[in-house]
Amino acid sequence: MTVRNLRIYAPLALYGIFLLLPFYWMIVTTFKSSAELLNTPNPFLIFHFTLSHITDLLTQTQYGRWFANTLFISVGATVLSVFISYIAAYAIIRLRFPGWQAVSTAIFLAYIVPPAILFIPLATVIIQLHWFDQLWALIPIYATFLVPFCTWLLIGFLKTVPRELEEAARVDGASNVAILWKIIFPIAVPGLISAAIFSFTLSWNEYLYALVYMSSSGNKTVSVGMTTELIRGDVFQWGQLMAGALIGVLPAVLVYFFFVEYYVAGLSGSVKE
């Protein structure tokens, strides 16, 4: 092994162990019999392999429904947030309307209000809007914590787009709206993908709002459904919990595997000087 390889792969292995150990444990627990979880000569190995946790999870709980719900909300919240953030970012950084700085600051400030606290007063608002226990309502609700960061990201990204493009289009007589969609939008794609990935991840993982504002079991998301139905009093169904966690991680992993380059490119565009 060359020195260079060692200098890369050795630390990489250490990072890998630290970052991936819990996932290894999730995998092992998913396929291990419950009794073995409590009594085993070696917790890292599987002695009694079983698929029952996965099959039980998929057949005896509403996991499929929760998965579909979470997918629906995550995609919806992503589309909504990216759209709102894009047009807002464009307005702030390109159109420079009067008061754009104050608006930009205000949007950023919205980020510092934690859902862990806001959800109480927000509950009253949700009730008044008749949004309580309406699954789709989570889409605009999630947008509240996605829009600030996405707007910031897109503002940064749009700053790097050269003005010459716009000026040329304007000379040709294009309206601002046309520029927004036909000229700038295609260039902003890496930034948009970045924002989309970020939004999808945060929506997929959200727990508190989904727990408090949805009540029927048909409206549960993966995190909520699993923790409310697989934790019974003082017995944790570890096998099913970890099976669900693994399956639940898959969509995000797939998205990242294919789009991580875009995500990086999008971010790097927005932090360039």
Partner 1 sequence: MQHPDRRRFLELSAAGLGAAGLSGTLPSAAAAAAPASPFKPEPGASIQLLRWTGFVKNDDVIWAEHTKNFTAQTGVKVEIQELNWPDVTPKAALAAQVGSGPDIVMGWNDDPFIYPDKLLDMSDLAEYMGKTHGGFYDTARAYCYDPDVKRWVALPVGVTGNAVVYRQSWMHQAGFETFPKDFPGFLKLAQGLKKIDHPCGFSLGHAVGDANSWTHLVLWGFGGRQTNPDNSIAINSPETANALEYASELYESMIPGVSGWLDPSNNQAFLAGQCSMTMNGISIWYVAKDQFPAMAPDIYHALPPAGPSKQHSIMNNFTSAYIFKYSKYPQAAKEYLRYMLDEAQAAPWVTGMRGYVTLALKGYAELPIWTSDPKITPYRDSMEVTRFDGYSGRPGRAPAQALTEFVIVDMFADVAVNKMTTKDAMRKAESRLMTIYKHT
Partner 2 sequence: MTGGSRLGSRFDSPRVLGYLLIAPAAILLLGLIAYPLIWGVWLSMTSATLGDTGAFVGLHNYAVILADPVFRGAAMFSVLYTVFAEAGKLALGLALALLLNQSFRGQRSARALMLLPWVAPTVLSALAWLWLLDPQFSAVSWLLVHLHVISRNLDFLGTPATARASLIVVNIWRGLPYFAIGYLAGLQSISKDLYEAAAIDGATGWQAFRRITWPLLAPITTILVAFSSIFTLTDFQLIWTITRGGPTDATQVFTTLAYQRAIVSGQLGEGAAIAISPIVFMIVLAFFVMRSVRER
Instruction: Scan residues 35-94 and list those touching partner 2 (CB under 8 A).
Output: 37-38, 42-44, 83-85, 87-88, 90-92
Give DSSP secondary structure letters for 76-103.
Answer: HHHHHHHHHHHHHHHIIIII--TTHHHH
What is the per-residue binding string for partner 2 in 100-139, x denoting contact by CB under 8 A?
Answer: x--x-xxxxxxxxxx-xxx-xxx-xx--------------
DSSP label of 49: B
Find the part of the chain contacting partner 2 (CB under 8 A) among 47-55, 60-68, 71-79, 256-264: 256-264
Distance linking the first and last C-alpha atoms of the chain: 39
Residue 122 binding partner per list partner 1, partner 2, none, with a CB distance cut-off of 5 to 8 Å that depends on partner kind: partner 2
Neighbours of 78 (CB within 10 A): 25
Provide the minimum distance between the beta carbon of 204 and partner 1 in the complex, in angstroms, as a whole number: 21
> Which of 61, 69, 74, 201 touches partner 2 by CB under 8 A?
201
Provide the minimum distance between the beta carbon of 48 and partner 1 in the complex, in angstroms, as a whole number: 12
Alpha-carbon distances, residue 56 vs 62, 69, 76, 240 (angstroms): 10, 19, 29, 7
Neighbours of 187 (CB within 10 A): 16
Does residue 30 bind partner 2 (CB under 8 A)?
no
Provide the minimum distance between the beta carbon of 43 and partner 1 in the complex, in angstroms, as a whole number: 11
- Interatomic CA distance for residues 199 and 254, integer angstroms: 15
Provide the minimum distance between the beta carbon of 235 and partner 2 in the complex, in angstroms, as a whole number: 13
Provide the minimum distance between the beta carbon of 32 and partner 1 in the complex, in angstroms, as a whole number: 13
- Interatomic CA distance for residues 271 and 50, integer angstroms: 48
| Structure token pair of residue 259 | 């789009």
Residue 35 binding partner per list partner 2, partner 1, none, with a CB distance cut-off of 5 to 8 Å that depends on partner kind: partner 1
- Interatomic CA distance for residues 196 and 249, integer angstroms: 17
Query: Residue 33 or residue 160: which is nearer to partner 1 going by CB?
Result: 33
Residue 109 binding partner per list partner 1, partner 2, none, with a CB distance cut-off of 5 to 8 Å that depends on partner kind: partner 2
Provide the residue type at 19 as one letter: L
> Which of 49, 55, 96, 167 touches partner 2 by CB under 8 A?
96
Query: Residue 38 or residue 235: which is nearer to partner 2 going by CB?
Result: 38
Burial of 123 (0-12, 13-18, 19+ CB in 10 A): middle
Residue 22 binding partner per list partner 1, partner 2, none, with a CB distance cut-off of 5 to 8 Å that depends on partner kind: partner 2
* Residues at the site binding partner 1, with contacts judged by CB under 8 A: 34-35, 38-39, 120, 123-124, 127, 132, 211-212, 215-217, 227-229, 231-236
Residue 247 binding partner per list partner 1, partner 2, none, with a CB distance cut-off of 5 to 8 Å that depends on partner kind: none
Quick check: helix, strand or coil at residue 236?
A: strand
In 3D space, the residue among 269, 225, 227 whose CA is nearest the CA of residue 66 turns out to be 225
Query: Residue 105 or residue 215: which is nearer to partner 1 going by CB?
Result: 215
Provide the minimum distance between the beta carbon of 207 and partner 1 in the complex, in angstroms, as a whole number: 12
b (16+ CB within 10 A) / e for 27-39: bbbbbbeeebeee
